Structure 1
Amino acid sequence: MKRILFIDRDGTIIKESPPTYQIDSLEKVNFYPRVIFFLTKIAYELNYDFVMVTNQDGLGTDKFPEKNFWPIHNHILKILKTEGIHFSSVHIDRTVPEENSPTRKPGIGMLTSYFHPGYNLEKSFVIGDRLTDVLLAKNLGCKSIWINPNFFVEEKNLSIEKKSLKKIIALETDSWERIYEYLKYSSSKRIFQHKRKTLETNVKITIQLYGEGKAKIQTGLGFLDHLLEQMAFHSLIDLNIHTIGDLEVDEHHTIEDTAITLGEIFHQSIDKRGIERYGFFSLPMDDSLATVALDLGGRSQLTWKTKFIREKIGEVPTEMFIHFFQSFSSSARCNLYVHAIGKNDHHKIESIFKAFAKALKMAIKKNITNQLPSSKGML
């Protein structure tokens, strides 16, 4: 579903022009500081549709002739478009406050088409400098980003206390840089949950790909818990894993199904638009050196060049490490190359998991294109 930024024009993209507040000459067009730079970054990096919603009091009347409005308005849109800032729709209300028109912000009369299953209003925002913009967000079921809230203008026919809108206002700021940072943060902070239950295991995983590296791992195998904690910490992926397996039989099903479920949720949660796709990292740990390279291109393949001397590390059979990565590669649909050398088996496998984490972090990193990283146009 599409997420939308409903963006006010005057006071948000360009500065207000008191006392008439009519932008009817080029001399009055002054863009809000750094708005073009950060709107461009939002357009390229984040997945939002831009919709302009503006009240233009009395447009088309003798007090505000259309011949004074359209050349200026189209000039503003042209400048924005040359920087990659495209508005899918522009909604302009011409009424004055005394008319109490349902099309005038905070009314939603012009915006009813967005109440559609194709749009995710709950994850959308209204960005504006007026109280009417905040109330528009409330009426749409969005959140509000209130820009320049300290320059508060009391609007006619509106008597409402600011504190009553606390749940609606997601951010108050006078900075477009701060708006960009907030939207980027909120876009990436998506939490996914996945369960896989068989007659042998019951696995529950919660993941947040762009997190802080927090982990809560319970598989019943202490050394596997330790390795997965290292993976979370060094990838900055928040990871909760709870596995109940038939350890009374052996460790195989627990390790295998944990890896399968982890790969499945990773595949489900990643938005591949704008990711780097490839990750590679070499990591030393005392006597050991591990190299991991991966491709999130949709194909499954594991190349494993590592040998162990010990039969087990902790409660984990060393033969299960290749099976763990094979299961992950298959369900995450990624290519994996793993190579490690060294004398100490503990160091070798721990360096592998750390290098794997660093490679994942590199591969899921977002760039400015917001395009699928494939010349084929699909992954």
Structure 2
Amino acid sequence: MRKILFVDRDGTLIHEPPDFQIDCYTKIRFVEGMLPALLRLQAAGYTLVMVSNQDGLGTDAFPQRDFDGPHGLLMQLLESQGVRFAEVLVDPSLPTENSPNRKPATGMLRHYLADDGWSRAASAVIGDRESDVQLAANLGVRAFRIGPELGWDAIVHALVDRPRTARVRRATRETRIAVDLDLDRSAEPSADTGIGYFDHMLEQIGKHAGIALAIRCEGDLEVDEHHTVEDCALALGQALREALGDKRGIGRYGDADATVPDAAPAGTARVRVPMDESLASAALDLSGRPYFVFDGSFPRERVGGLPTELVPHFFRSFCETALMSLHLSVRGENAHHMVEGCFKAVARALRTAVARSGGTDLPSTKGTL
């Protein structure tokens, strides 16, 4: 589906003068970083549409000819560098007229609202005023407000580089959970669930997957550990799914480990993690289909405050909301080593599967994941 950027003019493409009118050539000053940003956005497949309020245009105070000359030069300069707007929409009304065409109203954009051929989730409004932010809300798209804290470089980073982050807040009568995840940044992991050994295992995921992960949970531990472990897995899976977005450019499976037997599927993100006498093996696929297979048994019922029966349940719940297929096996004698090996193996497999290839291809013949 098409991706559209609805771009304001004054204050966004060119600096807005104190009298708010670009009515002569000497008032044209480009906003820093605007031109290379628009070129990158076009190259990333975005369609550009200019949407501008020009108060009183066509009146004696702001004659049409005074607008046309500078505006025409602006458009010519942009086009000479390869920047092309598919449409230029200008509302000349004054605020007191309450025109349905004046931003943030959507009168000038009715044909886009009636068109289902463009993606609201992938599109955005870029402007410098609160009216642009409100226009975005009225269109059902993201808003980027240019100002001292947000420039064109940051907007391009958000739209083109697609930072893969997620923030999930999950609250039930049993648990209150906050997960912050960044797949493209390494950081010291943080976990606080009230179960010390479980915190240690969640931190293994962040550390060995090479991601930034913070998870906090207030659960009904006075009942037992089940709800805390299960709901943390569900929230973490949701965060992973949201951060991955459309999954373009990811490994999905990653590279097969050299130690994997020939029977393993080619390209599967399969990892073996030894911890002394124990050996854990994980193979995962970010397929969009939840499935979990576990092979192993633990020699004791608890490690620290974590019941070992909840270890496979954690990963099953994780798969359900991450929409991921996971095969996990473990053998050994020391339950602590075995459980930790499971978490590390899944983390290492996840690290390979979420890694970006540098392209934008979708790793699926179906056209969707």
Query: What TM-score do you get using the length of structure 2 for normalisation?
Result: 0.60
Tell me, yes or no, if the aligned pair for 2:8 and 2:51 is still in contact at 8 Å. Answer: yes
Can you give the 5+ residue segments of structure 2 that lack an aligned partner in the other structure? 138-142, 255-268
The answer to whether 1:356 aligns with 2:346 is: yes
Correspondence for 2:259: none
Tell me, yes or no, if the aligned pair for 1:195 and 1:203 is still in contact at 8 Å. Answer: yes
Tell me, yes or no, if the aligned pair for 1:44 and 1:370 is still in contact at 8 Å. Answer: no
List per-residue Cα deviations over 1:40-94 (Å, max 9, x = no partner): 6557889x9854223676698444558x966963773686568xxx76x532245
Correspondence for 1:272: 245
**Aligned residue type for 2:216:** N
- The equivalent position to 1:326 in structure 2, one of 308, 313, 316, is 316
Structure 2 Cα separation of the partners of residues 327 and 293 of structure 1: 16
- Distance apart, 1:341 and its partner CA: 6.5
List per-residue Cα deviations over 1:249-276 (Å, max 9, x = no partner): xx6x457744663466447745631452
Structure 1 Cα separation of the partners of residues 270 and 165 of structure 2: 25
How has the CA–CA distance of structure 1 residues 322 and 71 changed in structure 2, closer, same or farther, with 3 Å as cutoff? same
The answer to whether 1:230 aligns with 2:232 is: no
Correspondence for 1:136: 131
**How do 1:204-243 and structure 2 match up within 5 A?**
204-210=176-182, 213-218=189-194, 221-232=195-206, 234=208, 235-243=211-219
Structure 2 Cα separation of the partners of residues 52 and 73 of structure 1: 11
Structure 1 Cα separation of the partners of residues 350 and 170 of structure 2: 19
How has the CA–CA distance of structure 1 residues 303 and 45 changed in structure 2, closer, same or farther, with 3 Å as cutoff? farther
Correspondence for 1:127: 127
**Aligned residue type for 2:7:** I
SS in 2 for 1:273: coil
Correspondence for 2:265: none
- Distance apart, 1:177 and its partner CA: 1.9
SS in 1 for 2:287: coil
Task: Count residues in correspondence.
Answer: 329
SS in 2 for 1:294: strand
- Distance apart, 1:335 and its partner CA: 0.8
Structure 1 Cα separation of the partners of residues 272 and 37 of structure 2: 36
Structure 2 Cα separation of the partners of residues 62 and 196 of structure 1: 62
Correspondence for 1:73: 75
Structure 2 Cα separation of the partners of residues 224 and 14 of structure 1: 53
SS in 1 for 2:179: strand
Query: What TM-score do you get using the length of structure 1 for normalisation?
Result: 0.59
How has the CA–CA distance of structure 1 residues 368 and 94 changed in structure 2, closer, same or farther, with 3 Å as cutoff? farther
The answer to whether 1:52 aligns with 2:54 is: no
Structure 2 Cα separation of the partners of residues 319 and 222 of structure 1: 17
How has the CA–CA distance of structure 1 residues 62 and 334 changed in structure 2, closer, same or farther, with 3 Å as cutoff? closer
Structure 1 Cα separation of the partners of residues 253 and 40 of structure 2: 22
Correspondence for 1:165: none
Tell me, yes or no, if the aligned pair for 1:214 and 1:237 is still in contact at 8 Å. Answer: yes
- The equivalent position to 2:89 in structure 1, one of 74, 91, 95, is 91
- Distance apart, 1:232 and its partner CA: 4.4
Correspondence for 1:176: 152
> Structure 1 vs Structure 2: percent identity of aligned residues?
26
Tell me, yes or no, if the aligned pair for 1:14 and 1:30 is still in contact at 8 Å. Answer: yes
Tell me, yes or no, if the aligned pair for 1:193 and 1:206 is still in contact at 8 Å. Answer: yes
The answer to whether 1:146 aligns with 2:141 is: no
Structure 1 Cα separation of the partners of residues 309 and 125 of structure 2: 51
SS in 2 for 1:191: strand
SS in 1 for 2:193: strand
How has the CA–CA distance of structure 1 residues 182 and 317 changed in structure 2, closer, same or farther, with 3 Å as cutoff? closer
- The equivalent position to 2:167 in structure 1, one of 183, 188, 191, is 191
How has the CA–CA distance of structure 1 residues 172 and 100 changed in structure 2, closer, same or farther, with 3 Å as cutoff? farther
The answer to whether 1:244 aligns with 2:228 is: no
How has the CA–CA distance of structure 1 residues 55 and 319 changed in structure 2, closer, same or farther, with 3 Å as cutoff? closer
Structure 2 Cα separation of the partners of residues 296 and 240 of structure 1: 25
Tell me, yes or no, if the aligned pair for 2:106 and 2:135 is still in contact at 8 Å. Answer: no
Structure 2 Cα separation of the partners of residues 282 and 79 of structure 1: 49
Correspondence for 1:162: none
SS in 2 for 1:177: helix
Correspondence for 2:234: 261
Structure 2 Cα separation of the partners of residues 266 and 187 of structure 1: 13
How has the CA–CA distance of structure 1 residues 261 and 51 changed in structure 2, closer, same or farther, with 3 Å as cutoff? same
Structure 2 Cα separation of the partners of residues 372 and 23 of structure 1: 48
How has the CA–CA distance of structure 1 residues 61 and 81 changed in structure 2, closer, same or farther, with 3 Å as cutoff? closer
SS in 2 for 1:293: strand
Structure 2 Cα separation of the partners of residues 116 and 110 of structure 1: 8
- Distance apart, 1:336 and its partner CA: 1.0
